[in-house]
């Protein structure tokens, strides 16, 4: 399994991967298909290589391209640097301390992989021993992976070529078949059948409406509020500066020999006409090559010298600000202590010399970005809808909508020459990558921090001087619709609503956090998920933005769900909160605050708190407020938010017919429609 995972990574999982390059540069499609790679969680492991955004008549050419590329690799051999880079990346990932979910569940998942393939469960828990053997096998046989391609892929005739083609009439055919089948079935019903179905429905409604008895609930093990920590862990931050006055934040944490270096550039002075290009800029800067180095050579160097380098953009309203959003680009470098000098020199080159005028490569990157955004709409429709609704009340959400919402998808789908993209990215790079816009953050043990300071100073010295001296005018929220339909090809809807909420640092915000937890595990879950048939329902309090939001996921209903958002607030404003339910909500919110975090996550969170004015004193005060939250506090929060529902903004991602049917029940929905590409 480990050998095949490595092979899949070598062939497909980096910009220098030979099979990925052949598929992307072929011009036969826009991006790798979502199933590309190896699936090891199945009893019969599957290796797939494909392309999306192609034409059906290209099927034979795509199939031939994959097989010919694999045959060429076997004949000519793999680049040893690509193989070594893949080995280092896998080794780096194993060394890195993980955060996020419970480690026990992560280990269980690893053990099940071995059990699935007739190994002892502990076999796939081990890494060093099997990886060491693989290292020796590769060293002893330089053509180890080429032979694996020949035996497991080329000589393996258990393969198929599958084409998935959009059919605009498929949904109508399915609905017609279903309607005909139901009508035929209904004609067969006897009076007794109808009575039984009615009785079963009544019984189901009664079961759903009847809460579990106190005796049944008492059999479940629960934590209590008394079990929660009274103080939150804090990540110590030492503030310093680098030559030129660049702010330097240091977090002395054990990282298992890994250095996390973050570079954040303030882009609040960036011209507004460049904002739609920013997300592409952050993903393309390390993918376009350098003078004298093609993009695949740079990708191989990144594999050899780093554990990863990438960027993203973010907008947020600082605690001390009233409503104006700060905008930043973050770049994160992960590398071993031993490779810091080479890694920072490579990053300096990328930041200052990226070849955005490599138009062929940039064209591929635009296609990939467009394909990725388009493919994300249905799996993440709730996110698109929630961001669209929140932008009326949140300055930050207006920028986020441009960078990763419907506006970004429409922007990438527009008619625009690649040269226009290149000129815009060059303008961004010239304006943003300046030492006056920069702050540096490092997470590593103190002795390593001291040892790499000269390398970091060399990186900062390579960045041109200057920076923004003024801020660009903020985006206005005036004139945004109160209800909007985003049209997609889907049988289900994603429904979102947003209202003004409380800001971070206030007791009211803490109470709204607890209320949101109770709503999504209580009323919204029962009404929207259990009775309404949606796959999920949620409420959230966004303290930096001052927005309280709702959303549903894969929802067959629109009007009823929007009504349920308001009904939930009425339900809790009337005092329908059990003290035990309150305790569980306090425990749930606390669990989010104290969940396991990796050293890299701790360092980044500490940086963001520093930038947005979130002090440890504020966090501790919030936690004490959380532990003291009462039923009365939640009733007041629900009543306060209920009054805000008159200002609610609704966004719905759904099919045109669903929007049409919902329009009479949602004022303004049919007046503001936006067709999303897909």
Helix ranges (H only) for 377-435 are 381-390, 395-404, 406-412, 418-432
**For residue 321, pLDDT beyond 90:** no
| pLDDT, tens only, 181-190 | 999 999 999 9
643 sits in which H/E element: helix 631-644
User: DSSP for 294-305?
Assistant: -HHHHHHHHHHH
Beta strand 326-336 with 308-316: parallel, antiparallel or unpaired? Answer: antiparallel
12 sits in which H/E element: helix 2-12
**Buried b / exposed e along 417-443 (16+ C-beta atoms within 10 A):** ebeebbebbebbbebbbbbbbbbbbbb
- How many angstroms separate the CA atoms of 129 and 140, rounded? 17
Q: Mean pLDDT, to the nearest integer, of 279-303?
A: 96
Q: Mean pLDDT, to the nearest integer, of 454-459?
A: 97
In sign, the C-alpha dihedral spanning 284, 285, 291, 296 is: negative
CA gyration radius, the chain: 27
For 651, phi then psi, to 5°, come to -135, 135
The whole-chain average pLDDT of the chain stands at 94
Please report which confidence band the pLDDT of residue 109 belongs to, taking 50, 70 and 90 as the band edges: confident
pLDDT at residue 41, rounded to an integer: 79
User: DSSP for 235-254?
Assistant: ---EEEEETTTEEEEEEE--
Q: DSSP state, 535?
A: S
Please report which confidence band the pLDDT of residue 516 belongs to, taking 50, 70 and 90 as the band edges: very high
Higher pLDDT, 529 or 123: 529
Please report which confidence band the pLDDT of residue 250 belongs to, taking 50, 70 and 90 as the band edges: very high
Which of the residue ranges 103-112, 168-177, 563-572 has the most confident prediction, judged by mean pLDDT? 563-572
Q: Mean pLDDT, to the nearest integer, of 429-434?
A: 98
The alpha carbon torsion through 344, 345, 346, 351 (nearest 10 deg) reads 80
**Buried b / exposed e along 640-673 (16+ C-beta atoms within 10 A):** bbbeeeeebbbbbbbbeebbeebbeebeebeeeb
Tell me which long-range contacts 98-107 makes (C-beta under 8 A, separation of at least 24): 98/598, 99/595, 99/596, 99/597, 99/598, 99/600, 99/601, 99/602, 100/595, 100/596, 100/597, 100/598, 100/601, 101/596, 102/596, 103/596
| pLDDT, tens only, 129-171 | 888 999 999 999 999 999 999 999 999 999 999 998 888 888 8
Cβ within 8 Å of residue 561, ≥6 positions away: 493, 495, 528, 532, 534, 537, 552, 555
Do the beta carbons of residue 352 and residue 435 sit within 8 Å?
no
Please report which confidence band the pLDDT of residue 227 belongs to, taking 50, 70 and 90 as the band edges: very high
| pLDDT, tens only, 349-375 | 999 999 999 999 999 999 999 999 999
Structure tokens at 663: 């329009």
In sign, the C-alpha dihedral spanning 57, 60, 63, 67 is: negative
- How many angstroms separate the CA atoms of 478 and 511, rounded? 29
HEC states along 94-119?
Answer: HHCCCCCCCHHHHHHHHHHHHHHCCC
In sign, the C-alpha dihedral spanning 646, 648, 649, 652 is: negative
**For residue 678, pLDDT beyond 90:** no
Beta strand 326-336 with 494-500: parallel, antiparallel or unpaired? Answer: unpaired
pLDDT at residue 514, rounded to an integer: 98
- Calculate the CA 569 to chain-centre distance: 29
pLDDT at residue 634, rounded to an integer: 98
Q: Mean pLDDT, to the nearest integer, of 544-571?
A: 97
Q: Mean pLDDT, to the nearest integer, of 10-17?
A: 93
Structure tokens at 86: 């893949």
Q: Mean pLDDT, to the nearest integer, of 105-129?
A: 81
pLDDT at residue 652, rounded to an integer: 98
- How many angstroms separate the CA atoms of 547 and 543, rounded? 7
The alpha carbon torsion through 72, 78, 79, 81 (nearest 10 deg) reads 160
**For residue 102, pLDDT beyond 80:** no
User: DSSP for 585-620?
Assistant: HHHHHHHHHTS---HHHHHHHHHHHHHTT--HHHHH
pLDDT at residue 35, rounded to an integer: 87
Do the beta carbons of residue 278 and residue 270 sit within 8 Å?
yes
Q: DSSP state, 676?
A: P
Please report which confidence band the pLDDT of residue 604 belongs to, taking 50, 70 and 90 as the band edges: very high
Q: Mean pLDDT, to the nearest integer, of 414-430?
A: 97
> Hey, what domains does the chain have and what are their CATH numbers?
2-154 (3.30.830.10), 238-462 (3.30.830.10), 483-675 (3.30.830.10)
**For residue 583, pLDDT beyond 90:** yes
| pLDDT, tens only, 479-503 | 999 999 999 999 899 999 999 999 9
| pLDDT, tens only, 465-478 | 999 999 998 888 88
- How many angstroms separate the CA atoms of 669 and 558, rounded? 11
Cβ within 8 Å of residue 188, ≥6 positions away: none
Q: DSSP state, 181?
A: H
Of the candidate ranges 100-104, 379-383, 471-475, 513-517, the one whose mean pLDDT is the lowest: 100-104
- How many angstroms separate the CA atoms of 537 and 521, rounded? 9
Q: Mean pLDDT, to the nearest integer, of 60-74?
A: 95
- How many angstroms separate the CA atoms of 530 and 520, rounded? 12
pLDDT at residue 367, rounded to an integer: 93
- How many angstroms separate the CA atoms of 408 and 605, rounded? 26
Q: Mean pLDDT, to the nearest integer, of 281-288?
A: 97
Look at residues 544, 267, 275 and name the one whose alpha carbon lies nearest to residue 399.
275
Burial class of residue 94 (count of CB atoms within 10 Å of its CB; 0-12, 13-18, 19+): exposed
Tell me how many degrees the CA angle 502-396-610 measures, rounded to the nearest 5.
Answer: 80
Question: Distance of CA 657 to CAs 416, 551, 616, Å?
Answer: 31, 20, 50
Residue 497 Rama label (left phi>0; alpha psi -120 to 50; beta): beta
Cβ within 8 Å of residue 287, ≥6 positions away: 15, 295, 299, 361, 365
- How many angstroms separate the CA atoms of 601 and 369, rounded? 26
pLDDT at residue 125, rounded to an integer: 80
pLDDT at residue 359, rounded to an integer: 97
Which residue shows structure tokens 């920028």? Answer: 399
């Amino acid at each position: 399994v480990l050998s095949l995972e490595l092979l899949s990574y070598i062939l497909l999982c980096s910009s220098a991967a030979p099979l990925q390059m052949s598929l992307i540069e072929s011009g036969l499609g826009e991006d790798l298909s979502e199933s590309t790679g190896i699936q090891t969680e199945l009893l019969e492991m599957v290796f797939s290589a494909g392309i999306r955004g192609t034409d059906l008549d290209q099927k034979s050419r795509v199939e031939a391209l994959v097989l010919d590329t694999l045959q060429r690799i076997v004949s000519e051999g793999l680049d040893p640097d690509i193989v070594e880079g893949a080995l280092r990346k896998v080794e780096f990932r194993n060394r890195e301390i993980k955060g996020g979910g419970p480690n026990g569940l992560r280990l269980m998942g690893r053990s099940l992989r071995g059990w699935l393939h007739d190994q002892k469960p502990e076999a796939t828990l081990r890494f060093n021993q099997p990886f060491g053997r693989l290292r020796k096998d590769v060293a002893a046989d330089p053509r180890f992976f080429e032979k694996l391609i020949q035996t497991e892929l080329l000589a393996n005739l258990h393969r198929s070529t599958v084409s998935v083609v959009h059919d605009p009439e498929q949904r109508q055919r399915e609905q017609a078949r279903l309607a005909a089948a139901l009508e035929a079935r209904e004609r067969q019903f006897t009076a007794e059948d109808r009575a039984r179905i009615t009785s079963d429905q009544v019984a189901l409604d009664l079961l759903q409406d009847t809460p579990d008895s106190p005796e049944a609930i008492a059999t479940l093990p629960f934590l209590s509020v008394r079990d929660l920590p009274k103080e939150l862990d804090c990540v110590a931050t030492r503030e310093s500066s680098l030559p030129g006055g660049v702010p330097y934040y240091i977090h002395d944490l054990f990282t298992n020999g890994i250095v996390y270096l973050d570079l954040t550039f303030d882009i609040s002075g960036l011209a507004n006409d460049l904002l739609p290009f920013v997300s592409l800029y952050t993903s393309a800067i390390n993918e376009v090559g350098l003078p004298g180095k093609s993009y695949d050579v740079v990708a191989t160097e990144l594999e050899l010298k780093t554990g990863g380098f990438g960027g993203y953009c973010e907008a947020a309203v600082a605690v001390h600000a009233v409503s104006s959003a700060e905008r930043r680009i973050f770049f994160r470098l992960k590398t071993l202590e031993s490779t810091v000098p080479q890694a920072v020199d490579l990053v300096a080159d990328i930041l200052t010399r990226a070849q955005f005028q490599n138009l062929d490569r940039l064209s591929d990157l635009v296609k990939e970005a467009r394909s990725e955004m388009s493919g994300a709409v249905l799996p993440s429709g709730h996110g698109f809808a929630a961001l669209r609704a929140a932008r009326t009340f949140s300055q930050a959400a207006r920028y986020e909508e441009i960078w990763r919402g419907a506006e970004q998808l429409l922007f990438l789908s527009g008619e625009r020459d690649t040269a226009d993209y290149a000129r815009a990215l060059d303008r961004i790079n010239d304006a943003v990558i300046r030492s006056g816009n920069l702050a540096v953050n490092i997470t590593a043990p103190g002795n390593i921090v001291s040892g790499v300071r000269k390398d970091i100073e060399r990186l900062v010295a390579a960045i041109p001087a200057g920076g923004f001296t003024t801020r660009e005018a903020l985006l206005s929220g005036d004139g945004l619709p109160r209800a909007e339909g985003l049209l997609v090809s889907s049988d289900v809807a994603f429904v979102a609503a947003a209202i003004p909420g409380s800001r971070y640092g206030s007791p009211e915000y803490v109470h709204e956090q607890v209320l949101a937890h109770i709503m999504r595990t209580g009323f919204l879950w029962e009404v929207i998920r259990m009775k309404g048939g949606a796959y999920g329902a949620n409420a959230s309090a966004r303290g930096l933005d001052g927005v309280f939001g709702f959303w549903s996921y894969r929802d067959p209903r629109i009007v009823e769900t929007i009504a349920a958002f308001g009904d939930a607030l009425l339900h809790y404003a009337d005092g329908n909160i059990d003290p035990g339910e309150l305790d569980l909500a306090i425990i749930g919110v606390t669990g989010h605050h104290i969940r396991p975090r990796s050293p890299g996550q701790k360092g980044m969170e500490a940086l963001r708190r520093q930038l947005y004015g979130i002090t440890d004193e504020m966090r501790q005060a919030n936690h004490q407020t959380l532990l003291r939250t009462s039923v009365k506090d939640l009733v007041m929060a629900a009543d306060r938010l209920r009054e805000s529902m008159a200002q609610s903004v609704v966004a719905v991602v759904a099919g045109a017919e669903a929007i049409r049917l919902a329009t009479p029940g949602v004022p303004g929905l049919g007046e503001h429609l936006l067709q999303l590409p897909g």
